[in-house]
A = this chain, B = another copy of it.
Amino acid sequence: MTVRAAVAGASGYAGGELLRLLLGHPEVEIGALTGNSNAGQRLGALQPHLLPLADRLLEPTTAEVLAGHEVVFLALPHGQSAAVAERLGPDVLVIDVGADFRLRDASDWERFYGSPHAGTWPYGLPELPGGRAALEGSKRVAVPGCYPTAVSLALFPAYAAGLAEAEAVIVAASGTSGAGKAPKPHLLGSEVMGSMSPYGVGGGHRHTPEMIQNLSAVAGERVSVSFTPTLAPMPRGILATCSAKAGPGVTAESVRAAYEKAFADEPFVHLLPEGQWPATASVYGSNAVQVQVAYDAAAGRIIAISALDNLTKGTAGGAVQSMNLALGLDETTGLTTIGVAP
């Protein structure tokens, strides 16, 4: 099987990472590449690391350009995917890397994004309970946010096993590519190198309702989430430090067992041996997630920590993994668990 795939939004960081992965995917032929403000430019000027595509030209993001592909990836600013998707036809596999179709609750969407809700598509996190079944054969996929991927994978085993109380506290550090390629003063290298700083504190980050949605579904009750994202001086990577109060009777052994069970057969999520902790460098450019968990008996809390590459497993790698499932391919096709380190 070879499918032709188009990438809308090929000049951004998510689009670039999609192309990096698709270039190595044995069943994909890369079709149209689009960008709006950059239409007409050589990709080599915008994504100089994608040498085999250096002479390809960006086209405008229109339904005509995107037509005739079996798969279309949408890496567009939020709010723009629905209009494109509805013109692509029900037989095209449309994978939205943006936020538009992630949330089930329209009021959550409207509160956090301030626009009408476009709908809900099957959610591209196969590792969640029931996650694979929702994706197999689907023609629409909503790729999760990078933070929700890291947080949901770190915490769901505790909730699935009934070990944690329904109040999660999360502090995550992200590399700057998570903030995109649009130039803003606070994202300048001069500003971010040597600095850690938080943003969206106090519940305001748009990824919060998505985390609540995922964890609540597993827990069978509403899980509240206190989420603080921070910007770290590195280009890629998310380290999510997540904790919740342990329920009665929890022990270090029961916590370990729950995580071993949850990830035993997962190709991309790797529960580290006891005593070893995740590092974002270890998953640089890979689709792997490193997870470790501890039970702090003195504080009565379960602490689960995950590391992933926000552009790979957190965005484009997750998108390709879901594509594989939707197309009936082996889930790991074209993806690696090997990081580029040091």
Q: Which residues of B contact A185 (CB under 8 A)?
A: 181, 183
Residue A144 at the chain B interface, CB threshold 8 Å? no
Which one, A73-81, A85-93, A193-201, is touching chain B? A193-201
- A190: which of B44, B48, B175 is its contact (CB, 8 Å)? B175
- Is A232 within 8 A of B233, CB to CB? yes
Residue A338 at the chain B interface, CB threshold 8 Å? yes
A51-B270 contact in complex given A173-B173, A196-B237, C-beta closer than 8 Å: yes
- B-facing residues in A167-220 (Cβ within 8 Å): 167, 169, 171, 173, 175-177, 179, 181, 183-185, 187-199, 201-203
- Is A20 within 8 A of B340, CB to CB? yes
- Is A239 within 8 A of B198, CB to CB? yes
- B-facing residues in A127-168 (Cβ within 8 Å): 167
Copies in the complex: 4
Which one, A56-64, A114-122, A299-307, is touching chain B? A299-307
Residue A2 at the chain B interface, CB threshold 8 Å? no
State the CA gap A229–B236 with chains docked (Å).
Answer: 20
Bin the interface of chain A by size. Answer: 35 or more
Which one, A95-103, A287-295, A318-326, is touching chain B? A287-295
State the CA gap A167–B13 with chains docked (Å).
Answer: 40
Q: Which residues of B contact A176 (CB under 8 A)?
A: 188-190, 193
A191-B303 contact in complex given A49-B339, A270-B51, C-beta closer than 8 Å: no
- Is B273 within 8 A of A194, CB to CB? no
- Is B198 within 8 A of A278, CB to CB? yes
Residue A226 at the chain B interface, CB threshold 8 Å? yes
- A49: which of B198, B276, B277, B286 is its contact (CB, 8 Å)? B286
Q: Which residues of B contact A196 (CB under 8 A)?
A: 173, 232, 234, 237, 239, 279-280, 307
Residue A45 at the chain B interface, CB threshold 8 Å? yes
> In chain B, what residue has the closest Cβ to A55?
B273
Q: Which residues of B contact A258 (CB under 8 A)?
A: none
- A338: which of B50, B199, B339 is its contact (CB, 8 Å)? B50
Residue A285 at the chain B interface, CB threshold 8 Å? yes
Q: Which residues of B contact A245 (CB under 8 A)?
A: 167
Given A49-B340, A167-B245, A198-B241, output 9 extra A-B contacts at Cβ < 8 Å. Answer: A24-B336, A45-B276, A48-B279, A171-B171, A176-B190, A176-B193, A187-B189, A201-B294, A233-B234
